[in-house]
Structure 1
């Protein structure tokens, strides 16, 4: 028999309740979900998903500022829908 240990963690009540509901839909429980996560963490030697902070690079930020500026100009061309825009771009 495998030796087990207890793990006590603090989580927001709403998060816990929603996680329990998801687990129930999947036919499991929160304890099994945490065990699956921990086993994946060990197997991957890190998180089993990508951790990142979405940031835009300087070029993207400049392009977004330029787009905002252009959209405020009265002379900026306007389109009723995406199809009209695409048609104009292809012409």
Structure 2
């Protein structure tokens, strides 16, 4: 599937929105990607510095550059965001059941 110019323009905004919805800074997201890379055995990313990943994330979110995350980064982003979503859902369920009051 090829991306249209419209998709390329929407991607930086969507990535920023996903990160900000979780209250993550670029450094927080970089650490989440490193953790995901360790779990999923993606050594190239697992060994990167947080500062290097922060620069990469900044490029993804730059509307002027239209840099799209590569396949391995898309996997790590999906894993990191899915983990957070599952944790939040789990916490909400426990709170509503009265176990954590």
TM-score under structure 2 normalisation? 0.28
When Rg is computed on C-alpha atoms for both structures, the one with the higher figure is: 1
| Structure that is richer in helix per residue | 2
Larger RCO: Structure 1 or Structure 2 (Cα < 8 Å, ≥ 6 residues apart)?
Answer: 2
TM-score under structure 1 normalisation? 0.30
